[in-house]
Amino acid sequence: MSQAIAASRAIDTTSPPAGPRLLTADRIFTGDDASVITQGAVAISDGQIAWAGKLADLPVIHAGLPRTEYGDATILPGLVETHAHLDAYSRAAQPDVPDPERHSPGWETLSSVKIARQLASLGVTTVQSLGARDYTDVALREAVNLGLVDGPRIVAAGPPITFTGGHDWVDGSEIDSIADILHHVREHHKAGTDAIKVMATGGFMSHSTAPWNAQFSTDQLRALIGDAHRLGKHVAAHAHGSEGIRRAVDAGIDYIAHATFIDPDGQTRFDPELADEIAERGIFVDGCAPPSFPPVAGETTTPRAYELYQHGVRIVAGHDIGAVYPASAYSFGLKQLEASGLPRAEVLIAATSRGAAAVGLAGVTGVVGAGYAADLVVVEGDPLASLDALDQIKEVIIFGRSFSREHVPPFDPGVRLAAGTQTRQSPQDARQEWIRRKERAKAHPLPRITA
């Protein structure tokens, strides 16, 4: 913890400082693999895990700590959301003033607080923001780190990089050349982002972009990724089309959002050889994607997840929170991964240690082990027996401090957010909306970028 953060916490009167304590429970899911410690204990000190193991093996030095006994419960690493748009609620309403645009950055930041706190209330202790206008996710990260707001750890990407008129241009940094790319990567660095988000293909939520069309050449992506890596940032690519996915992989991408595998004719066709390449390069994929086209009955919200998993791809828990689903859908998204065919333990790893690694926090959070951050969630029962246990939260701990949870209205899986709006619609209506957007983008595409 930096001196600035430590000093701010020392004078923060809204939340008491975190003291050393001991948690005990019937089970600890460590997160680094599928192993479980029975009759376990976790000692917390100075915001970190000082020790974790069987209660019977508790070192004497921790025996006198204030103890919270949870009994038939499981202590897990805090959950990770790898793909969120924290400022999305700002689109649902505007300030009631003559010139609301004047207040956009502040309005978006305050909106972001709501989504971040809702996620934290559901056990999500780390959130990667993959696209936020005006660098509001950076501002929120700093507010959380300085103790001005209680919320999850934020990994901020700032505005997504797209081409002029490309997918999400209204929120993004528009570029048209390698010189522009390098300038905007460095602008993001100057603004303090942790990561870079690039729109490698068009999308469903922007008029006149085709999701199956690549937006950047391989050389452009290689320049972007190379400069971002030089500056210590990982790069996430929004990629629906197979061609754009392939270019991102060839350019050295770290993370792929969606991986929908759409061919130029608008059809969904999984590419096993490309999946093998993604796996070989160790690229993380969140797999949250629209329904296949032509429609496939009974699909989950992660239609390619099991095929990718079968090829050894590192699947993580990213649900496009804010853009497509509300914060309340987080555990629903995990259950969709299981329904797709992933083993339950694999889903939990995707939401803990692997998710932390995907957002650049390997070795920092995502594991219940000595030296890791005390970012934890305690749930009733055993999530390895049923993921429903994740809905029965007893305590959330972030930075070693107990997070004051707020009520989050339960998610209704019978409806989803309409694309780009806060309007709810049925799955059938949502599927028809994707089809309409496919046809509209096909009829009015922007110029196609060749390799």
Q: What is the pLDDT of residues 58-104, one digit of tens each?
A: 999 999 999 999 999 999 999 999 999 999 888 778 888 888 888 88
Helix (H) or strand (E) holding 379: strand 376-380
Residue environment code for 152-183, b if the CB has 16+ CB neighbours within 10 A, otherwise e:
bbbbbbbbbbbbeebbbbebbbbbeebebbbe
Looking at residue 121, what is its pLDDT?
98
Q: Enumerate domains of the chain plus CATH numbers.
A: 3-78+367-402 (2.30.40.10), 79-362+420-443 (3.20.20.140)
Preceding amide of 59 cis, omega within 30: no
- Lowest mean pLDDT across 48-62, 161-175, 210-224, 398-412: 161-175
On the question of pLDDT at 42 being above 70, the answer is: yes
Joined together, the tokens standing for residue 135 give 């660098």
Q: In what helix (H) or strand (E) does residue 141 lie, and over which residues does it extend?
A: helix 136-145
| Predicted TM-score of the model (pTM) | 0.91
Is the model's pLDDT at 258 over the cut of 60? yes
Residues 106-111, mean pLDDT to the nearest whole number: 89
> Taking 60 as the threshold, does the pLDDT of residue 421 lie above it?
no
Q: Which residue has the higher pLDDT, 341 or 102?
A: 341
The 8-class DSSP code of residue 114 comes to H
Pull the structure tokens for residue 273: 């050889």
Q: Residue 265 pLDDT > 90, yes or no?
A: no
| Sheet with 173-175, side-by-side order of all strands | 173-175, 161-163, 195-199, 234-241, 255-262, 284-285, 314-315
Greater confidence, 204 or 441?
A: 204
What does the pLDDT read at residue 446? 53
Q: How far is C-alpha 112 from the chain's CA centre?
A: 14
Confidence of residue 451 (pLDDT cuts 50, 70, 90): low
pLDDT of residue 14: 45
pLDDT band, residue 375 (cuts 50/70/90): very high
- CA distances (Å), 144 to each of 137, 138, 202, 365, in order? 10, 10, 33, 16
pLDDT tens digits, one per residue of 280-325: 999 999 999 988 988 899 899 999 999 999 999 999 999 999 998 9
Return the amino acid letter for 355: G
- Of 338, 398, 371, 380, nearest to 30 by C-alpha is 371
Phi and psi at residue 249, to the nearest 5°: -65, -50
Q: What is the pLDDT of residue 92?
A: 77
DSSP string covering 21-84: EEEEEEEEE-SSSS-EEEEEEEEEETTEEEEEEEGGG--GGGTTS-EEE--SEEEEEPEEEEEE
pLDDT (mean) for 371-387:
98
For 22, other C-beta atoms within 10 Å of its C-beta total 21
